[in-house]
């Protein structure tokens, strides 16, 4: 079993930069539809991992298929612990609700990063913020 996988958008990429040993499948500016089309058949997605961190939804402007896209992606993932980074509640409240819904359906954790974001209210303010987010995401779940 591999240690960790970080998938998604630019937030995922920043988290992966602070966890160099993780497999990273992320692209800046990507939405869930494009991520699924581009990466869902990648064998690294369906490999077993101890921890999987997902950051998707923030770049989804059309939300009609967001829940289905996220669920389709989640169906392919084999992680002992899966953590979803929540989109901004001030800028993307509907996307955030959809991420929370999918995470809840699978019994996954969610992580609110709003106290770490910078001027754009979306992205963490600097690499130390990304590192702190990674520390929280990879912290074992309390029982």
- Which residues are within 8 A (CB) of 92 and not within 5 positions of it... i.e. 6 or more apart? 57, 58, 60, 122
> Band of the pLDDT at 50, cuts 50, 70, 90?
very high
Q: What percent of the chain stands above pLDDT 90?
A: 78
Q: Average model confidence (pLDDT) for the chain?
A: 92
Report the alpha-carbon distance of residue 74 to residue 88 in Å, rounded.
Answer: 20
Buried b (16+ CB within 10 A) or exposed e, 9-42: bbbbbbbbbbbeebbbbbbeebbbbebbeebbee
Say if residue 1's pLDDT is above 80.
no
Is the pLDDT reported for residue 122 higher than 90?
A: no
Q: What is the pLDDT of residues 56-93, one digit of tens each?
A: 999 999 888 999 999 999 999 999 999 999 998 888 99
CB atoms within 10 A of CB 76: 13
pLDDT of residue 143: 53
Lowest model confidence (mean pLDDT) among 55-59, 94-98, 108-112, 139-143: 139-143
pLDDT tens digits, one per residue of 24-38: 999 999 999 999 999
Q: Which CATH number fits domain 2-137: 3.90.550.10, 3.40.50.300, 3.40.50.1110, 3.90.330.10?
A: 3.40.50.1110
- Indicate whether 96 pLDDT > 70: yes
121: phi then psi, degrees, rounded to nearest 5: 60, 20
Give the pLDDT of residue 64: 87
Mean pLDDT of 90-105: 94
Q: Tell whether the model's pLDDT for residue 100 goes beyond 70.
A: yes
């Amino acid at each position: 079993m591999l240690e960790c996988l970080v998938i998604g958008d630019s937030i995922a990429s920043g988290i992966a930069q602070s966890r160099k040993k993780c497999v990273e499948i992320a692209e800046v500016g990507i939405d869930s539809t494009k991520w699924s089309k581009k990466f869902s058949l990648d064998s690294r997605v369906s490999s077993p991992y101890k921890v999987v961190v997902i950051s998707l939804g923030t770049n989804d402007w059309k939300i009609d298929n967001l829940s289905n896209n996220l669920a389709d992606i989640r169906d392919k993932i084999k992680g002992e612990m899966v953590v979803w980074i929540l989109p901004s509640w001030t800028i993307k409240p509907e996307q955030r609700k959809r991420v929370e819904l999918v995470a809840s359906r699978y019994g996954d954790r969610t992580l609110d990063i709003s106290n770490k974001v910078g001027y754009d209210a979306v992205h963490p303010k600097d690499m130390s913020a990304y590192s702190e987010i990674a520390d929280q995401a990879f912290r074992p779940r309390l029982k």
